[in-house]
Structures are given as C-alpha cells and as structure tokens.
Amino acid sequence: MARSQTKSVFDLRGESFERPHQLNGDWDFFWMRFIESNDTTSRWNNMKVPADWYDAPNEDRYSTVGYATYRTTVLLDKRKDEIGIFIPHIFSAYKVIVNGQVAHESTKVGKTEAEYIPFRMPKVVPISRYGENEFEIIIQVSNFNHFNSGMHYAIDIGKYRALQQDLSIKIDVNLFVAGGLFITGFVLLAFAFTYKHLKVEIPFYALFSISLMYRMLGSDPYPLHALFPGLPYIWSVHMEYFSIHTATLFGGLFVFYLYPRQTNKYVKYLYVGVSLVSLACVFVLRPLVFTYLMKFYLFFVLAYVLIFIYIIAKARKEKELSSGYLLTALIIVAIWTLFQIILFLNVAPIPYFINIILVSLIMVFCNLALFRTFMLKIQSVDLTQADLTITKSKQNMLSLISHEIKTPVATLQMNIEMLRAMAQTGKDVPGEMLDKITEACSEDVDDIKQMVNDFVYFMSRADAGIKPTSISEISHRLKNRFSSDTTPMKVYKFNEIRRYDTDLLTLEYIISTLLSNAQKYSPSGAKKAELILREDSQMLTIEVKDYGFGMDEDQVENLGKSRLVRNEKDEISGVGFYLAKELSNQLDHSLVIESKPGLGTSVRIELKGHD
C-alpha cells in the first residue's frame, strides 16, 4: 500500500446508537512508533481494521511482533447518555488515549518484550467524559507473544451502559454453561467408577466436558480473567490452547472407544498421534509459534469430525447400541468447529450467542446421547449377566440330575438283571419278592420321570414372565391347582390393593415341587401338607408345611446345594429343593426352610411388594 496522509474519521452524527456501531475501516497506523495526541508531524499509513497488521498489503511488510499506534477521530452529536467503546481484545497489550487523556491501559505497552506486559480481557471504555462532539482515539499496541497482532477484532461504539450490560451477560452465560459442563464431567467420572464395564468411554466424555468447561472460562469473554485479573498471560494462553486440544482429543477417543468395531485403528492412531504432537507443541513452544500452528490443527479436527459422523452413521446401520442424539451432536460440533476456524482466521464475525447456542446444543445432545447409549449398554450388560446366571444354574442342574438319575437307573437295572438271572435258571420268583421288585421298579420309573420333567422345565425357561399380581389372584390360582394335595388352604387378612412381582406359572411349579417333596418324605397315613398365605410388612409369605420325617440342622444347611445328599432310604435326594431354590432366585423370591426330625418341615416363599 502506498503511503497516505488521508486522516481516519468516523462521522457518526445522527446515529441513535439503538444498536452498537462497529468502527470498521481505515485507521491511521504508525508502525514502530508510539504517538501522543495532536501529533501532526509523524507520517502514517492507512490500516484496515479489523485485521492483523502483518496482513496489510504494504511494501515494507510489517512483522508479526513489534509495536504500533492506531488513530482515528469519531464525530458525534452532543448527547446526554454516555457513549463507550467495546474492545474485545487487542493483541497483546494496549493503551487507549481519548482526546489526550489515558482512558484505559490493559497492562503495560512497551517497545521490547522485556518492557511490555500482555493481558487479555474484554473491556468497555467510556469516552463521553473526555469531550462533547469530537473524540480523537489513539490506541498504542505492543505484541511479542502471539501470532495474531494488533486490532484483530472489531471495536464497537455505542451506549456505555448497554455495552457494559451486554458484556456482563456474556460473562454470566459463559459461567452458567461452564457450571453445567463441570457438573456433567465430574458426575460422569463418579458414574464411571460405579459401572466398571464402562470405564473407558465415560471418563473420555467426562474429560471432554471438563475441557469444554475451561474453554467457557478461559476464552472469550474470559470470565476467569475477570474473576482473577492477576492471572499470568503466558499461563492463561497456554491453558486456553491446551483446553482446545484436550477437548478434541478426548471427544475423539470417546467416539473411537464407544464404537471400536466401526473404527479403523490406523485412523485412530493418526488422530491421537497428531493431537498429542500438537498438544506437546502447546507445552514446549512459545505462544508465538503454537498460535500460528493452531489453524492447521483446526482444519485437521474438522476433517476428523466428518469421520466421526461416518463412524456413528455406520454404527447405526450395523444395529450397534447408539443414539441419533450423538449423530446430531457431532453435526453441531462440525458446524461449531467451522465457526471456530472462521473466527480464528478472522474471515468473518460470528455472533457471540451463536457460539454459545452451539456449545449448549452440543452439551445437551451429547448428554442425551450418553444417557441413551449407556443405558442401552447397561441393559445389555445386565441381560448378559442374567443370561450367564441362568446358564450357570442350568449347568448346575444338569450336573445334579446326571448324578442323581444314576441311582434309580442303577436300581432299575439291578432288579431287571435279577429277574433275568432267575428266569435263565428256571427258578420261580416268590410272589412277595416279585411284588417288592415291581414296586421298586415303579418307584424308580416315577423318580426318573419326575427328574426328566423337572429337567425339561428348568432348562426350557429363558426368562420369567414376572408382573405385579394381587393376593386374590395368587390365592385363587393356588387353591384351584393344589386343593386336592393339601388341607384347605389358609389365607390370612391381606391388602387387596397391594401387588407382588411374580410369575404365577413358575410359582405354581415351585409349590408343586415342594409338595412333591413333602409327600415323598412323609410316612404313610401322615396328615396332608398345609398351604398357608400370610401378608406382613410389605411381604407375602406362602408356607408349605408337612408333618413328615423332618431333617436335622446339618441336612437343612446342605439342602439345595449342588451336591449329593442321601436320605433314610439310601437314595440320592436334594434336586427338588435345589430346583425350587433356583427358580425362586430367578423370581427374586426368598426361600426359607425350618425342619425338626420327627416333626416335619416348613418351607416359606417370601415375595416382595411391587414398588
């Protein structure tokens, strides 16, 4: 650009300032000079604002680092309300002089890096108090620590109170969003410790939320700097760029580990590798260098956001546990990242509240997606665990049946061999012995049939049809089913409104098994077993009581375990109670047994009330 002496003037007479006006256009620019008010001797160039001074098309080409002065004159009508200028930031230290008086100094400008003190925080500067109609605005600027230089952002002029209120609202909104991200991050870290099987994905998302939280605090409008104005500039700029990298790194790892089957490992390695290298640059290099490299990393991240969208879309197509919310969130992330690139390169202004709305939508949709996806995963894991429990129970049942069925089979085989041997020798079988052998064979066949029935029923159950059931439904069903096997069923006072979670078909089978045991181990002519329903303290108790042989404490303790137990007939027993106990566990019912030798046995099934 050729040297020019056309003085910069913004004529805003007649402007109502119902909305702020931007001082965009040519300003007087004095390179490597700090000028004061009413300087008429120094020569200047025209500099477009907003822009980095190193981008100016000047034959001398300004360097990134250095110092300079911007100057313009603003013409206003005489007004009662105070006018101010809003300065988002000027890289990296500046002093504002209005009509010869210092109106604001961010920290300290200087002609060398050792002399100046950089700082970054938006500021509303009142100017009406320094004049009436004409305001000469001089801004001295130093930059030795950032790739962006000078008046990179537009300066607004408007009503002072409105500008100040707008800045306060922005800070409050950022604090509110940061609080939401803080809660999300630390709650999810606690959630990860609770559900160990989700310990990889959830911490990544939690760290992503915490990184975004710092972005809300440590970037425009810099509420953290407003709360702690003494924060060192170098530390804060490192942390600002550090949070960008950690947010993108952990967000990417969250997607990769949530959908490992859809993720190409080399694509993941490249993303992690480049992110870590860029993060290392933030740690070890000067801000002047890593702020220059940032634009390349943002383009890299934008490309990977499209890959993340592809991964999630592929997962949904392949029927993975996923959520449309996550796909929506990633699309919003792509838009937000594109806007960050536009802002970083100063291509066009992006309204503040668009940025806040996008970040809020990312937070909302990611949280909805997280809740939906992880609830599906938890349900899947719980179902898998339940299947493993049922499979283990079936294996125990198979082991027990395979051992227990050997006794009646061996007895049956022995009796048949005895009859065959006597037939081969031509001896007649005494009538009393034949009756005894026939009766024993019949009992063995009945035992085998019962074991097979129990085994088939138990092994065929994949799940229980549990539902809330009233006591009247339970008592009516049991009365119809077992009236011939027991004394008249006793039902004590109950609450008809209350419901109990059970599966009536399985409950019938449990009681049938217990009654079969009661009949099997009661002497001939003993009193029939009793069936009693009793409600007490939000619990329904169904008691099966017999007056049979009974058991001692050791037998009661070992009953129902997957091991062999011999009764007084020298037969293997225990499968019936084991079956009843396993089925009760599947229904979440408790089984309690009390027995005394010679007096009989009482088995109580305890049902919990429906919440």
Please tell me which residue, 333 or 297, carries the higher pLDDT value: 297
One-letter identity of residue 488: P
Instruction: Name the strand (E) or helix (H) holding 259.
Output: none
Strand partners, 596: 600
How confident is the model over 277-293, as pLDDT tens digits?
999 999 999 999 999 99
Residue 529's closest CA among 580, 490, 584?
A: 490
Q: What is the pLDDT of residue 566?
A: 40
The residue whose two tokens read 């027995």 is: 595
Give the C-alpha separation, 126 to 429, whole Å: 124
How confident is the model over 459-496, as pLDDT tens digits?
665 555 678 888 888 888 888 878 877 788 888 867 77
Give the C-alpha separation, 349 to 352, whole Å: 9
Centre a 10 Å sphere on the Cβ of residue 389 and count the other Cβ atoms it contains.
Answer: 13
Please tell me which residue, 203 or 26, carries the higher pLDDT value: 26
Of the listed ranges 325-334, 403-412, 494-503, the least confidently predicted one is 403-412
Q: Give mean pLDDT, residues 113-134.
A: 94
Alpha helices in 500-607 (DSSP H): 504-520, 553-558, 575-586
Residue 300 predicted with pLDDT over 60:
yes
Give the whole-number percent of the chain exceeding pLDDT 70. 86
- Tell me if residue 537 falls in helix, strand or coil: coil
Q: Which of the residue ranges 45-59, 248-262, 274-288, 374-388 has the most confident prediction, judged by mean pLDDT?
A: 274-288
Give the C-alpha separation, 330 to 353, whole Å: 19
How confident is the model over 540-570, as pLDDT tens digits?
899 999 988 888 888 877 775 644 444 444 3
Give the whole-number percent of the chain exceeding pLDDT 90. 34
- pTM passes above 0.95: no
CA distances to 95, 241, 348 from 374, in Å: 53, 30, 39
Give the C-alpha separation, 404 to 399, whole Å: 9
Looking at residue 486, the DSSP 8-state letter turns out to be: B
Q: What is the pLDDT of residue 1?
A: 40
As a whole number of Å, the CA-based R_g of the chain is: 42
Looking at residue 560, the DSSP 8-state letter turns out to be: T
Please tell me which residue, 151 or 535, carries the higher pLDDT value: 151
Of the listed ranges 17-21, 57-61, 518-522, the least confidently predicted one is 57-61
Tokens standing for residue 123: 């500021």
Residue 244's closest CA among 300, 193, 323, 199?
A: 300
Mean pLDDT computed over every residue of the chain: 83
